């Protein structure tokens, strides 16, 4: 079936057994630049309660809180704006990783228009049923603790620990090095110059050069039917605790208390050197429905099931390796190049082909095909019922893409060489 038919068909109700999401967060503030986002009532199809999904995110601002606040208020809409309407749940989940890339880049572009120097990390997690999709830039982290096994769903974009990012920054024309003292000694963590930021990816940071990009690492998994626990925290936690320690301190506790315990242990280990924030989310299996033969004992059985339901996730214990149900890895991509991430399929409605009307893959603005717009595909060679793979970018987003990939820096160097 062609994608044009998928978009035009009537959306059918989808029966999905959805787990219960229980959450809690805790924080100790030093600079007031950490922010938490929790939205459990997002809907893929507006007005359709069966399409509900949850968003849980942490933003760790630097050089002020403006970028973190902007991202908290706008990132959900920026991501959902990159998702076509009328998709089935399976299609939405398949497109979500690319929509997250589009949303992060759009948030960065729009915030930089405000000409504020603030920046922020972003760890943004979407939970739809048992499918978890995590997108991140910066050094906040998300882990999954499921049946005693701990899995990291993000990548740290610190230049100090990420060699691939150091190579990317230098290949794009940036410099990586430490601060130098008057005596010539190098001190502190590795930083990107100009600007001196320790991170290689963030939202905002317009004053630190185009080598700091907002393109997120994205990982999508399906947790076992037994559920699991997500721990999302800023570097105030991870500078003090490793993933296994954080998971261990949280086991056996409900989410709110678990988050407080993790923050407490981080402060005990390192003290309050930075904003320290933790968000714990339990993915709890839905209560088992009694079968028809035991209908007469329904109230008693449900009472027992409700008791188990309340304590399943909080009592995470290690099972023998052979008995653990596996986490299914669906998608993973961390390239900073939009060309690798943005093979977005655009559905061309019948009849619109003649007008050449499209949306920019990043800002979602309606475009009319002209010499000012750029695309990587052969748009005019398609028949009306075919899909076309872009990305199709407006002029300003094309400039943004070229800047992030170091092309503008190379062009400037080439111009300087030719001028000399």
- List per-residue pLDDT tens for the chain, 420 residues long: 333 344 344 444 455 568 999 999 999 999 999 999 999 999 999 999 999 999 999 999 999 999 999 999 999 999 999 998 889 999 999 999 999 999 999 999 999 999 998 999 999 999 999 999 999 999 999 999 998 899 999 999 999 999 999 999 998 888 999 988 777 788 889 999 888 999 999 999 988 878 899 999 999 999 999 999 999 999 999 999 999 999 999 999 999 999 999 999 999 999 999 999 999 999 999 877 665 554 444 433 333 333 333 334 434 444 444 445 789 999 999 998 887 886 544 433 333 333 344 777 787 777 765 544 445 443 333 344 444 445 677 887 888 787 777 776 666 556 655 655
pLDDT at position 149 is: 93
- Per-residue confidence (pLDDT) for residue 307, from 0 to 100: 31
Nearest to 136 by CA among 220, 19, 193, 194: 220
How buried is 77 (Cβ within 10 angstroms: 0-12 exposed, 13-18 middle, 19+ buried)?
exposed
Q: What region does 173 belong to: left with phi over 0, alpha with psi -120 to 50, or beta?
A: left
The pLDDT assigned to 232 comes to 98
- CA 404 – CA 410 distance, rounded (Å): 12
Strand blocks (E) in 44-93: 52-62
Give the pairing of strands 228-233 and 141-146. antiparallel
The structure tokens 């986490």 sit at: 327
267: number of CA atoms within 13 Å, CB side? 17
The first and second tokens of residue 357, run together, are 């009307």
Q: What are the structure tokens assigned to 234, written together? A: 């800023």
* Residue 419 burial (C-beta neighbours within 10 Å; 0-12, 13-18, 19+): exposed
Task: State the pLDDT at residue 219.
Answer: 98
Q: What are the backbone angles phi and psi of residue 162, rounded to the nearest 5°?
A: -115, 95
Q: Looking at the domain that runs over 20-156+198-284, which CATH code has it been given? A: 3.60.40.10
For the beta carbon of residue 54, count every other beta carbon within 10 angstroms.
20
**Residue 23 parent element (H or E):** strand 20-28
Q: What is the pTM of this model?
A: 0.81
* Rounded-to-10 torsion of CA 182, 187, 191, 192: 30
The burial of 156, by beta-carbon neighbours within 10 Å (0-12 exposed, 13-18 middle, 19 or more buried), is given as buried
Domain boundaries along the sequence of the chain: 20-156+198-284, 338-371+388-418
């Amino acid at each position: 079936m062609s994608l044009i038919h998928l978009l035009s068909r009537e959306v059918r109700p989808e029966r999905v057994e959805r787990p219960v999401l229980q959450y809690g967060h805790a924080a100790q503030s030093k600079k007031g630049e950490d922010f938490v986002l929790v939205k459990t009532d997002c809907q893929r199809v507006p007005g359709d309660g069966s399409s509900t999904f949850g968003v849980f995110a942490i933003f760790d601002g630097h050089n002020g809180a403006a970028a973190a606040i902007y991202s908290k208020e706008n990132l959900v809409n920026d991501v959902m704006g990159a998702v076509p309407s009328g998709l089935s749940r399976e299609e939405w989940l398949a497109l979500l990783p690319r929509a997250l890339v589009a949303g992060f880049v759009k948030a960065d572009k729009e915030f930089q228009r405000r000409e504020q120097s603030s920046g922020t990390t972003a760890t943004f997690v979407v939970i739809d049923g048992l499918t978890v999709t995590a997108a991140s830039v910066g050094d906040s982290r998300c882990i999954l603790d499921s049946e005693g096994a701990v899995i990291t769903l993000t990548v740290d974009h610190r230049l100090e620990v990420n060699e691939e990012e150091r190579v990317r920054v230098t290949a794009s024309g940036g410099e990586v090095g430490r601060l130098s003292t008057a005596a010539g000694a190098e001190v502190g963590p590795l930083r990107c110059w100009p600007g001196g930021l320790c991170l290689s990816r963030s939202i905002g940071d317009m004053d630190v050069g185009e080598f700091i990009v907002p393109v997120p690492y994205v990982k999508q998994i399906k947790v076992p039917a037994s559920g699991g626990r997500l721990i999302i925290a800023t570097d105030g936690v991870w500078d003090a605790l490793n993933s296994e320690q954080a998971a261990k301190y949280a086991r056996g506790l409900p989410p709110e208390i678990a988050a407080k315990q993790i923050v407490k242990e981080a402060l005990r280990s390192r003290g309050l050197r930075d904003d320290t924030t933790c968000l714990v989310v339990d993915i709890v299996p839905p209560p088992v429905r009694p079968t028809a033969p035991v209908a007469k004992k329904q109230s008693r059985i449900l009472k027992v099931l409700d008791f188990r339901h309340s304590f399943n996730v909080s009592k995470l214990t290690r099972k023998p390796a052979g008995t653990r149900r596996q986490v299914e890895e669906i998608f993973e991509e961390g390239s900073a190049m939009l060309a690798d991430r943005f093979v977005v399929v655009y559905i061309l409605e019948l009849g619109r082909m003649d007008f050449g009307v499209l949306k920019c893959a990043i800002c979602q603005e309606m475009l009319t095909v002209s010499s000012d717009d750029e695309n990587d595909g052969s748009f005019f060679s398609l028949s009306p019922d075919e899909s076309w793979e872009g990305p199709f970018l407006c002029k300003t987003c094309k400039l943004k893409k070229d800047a992030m990939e170091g092309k503008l820096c190379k062009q400037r160097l080439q111009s300087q060489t030719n001028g000399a």
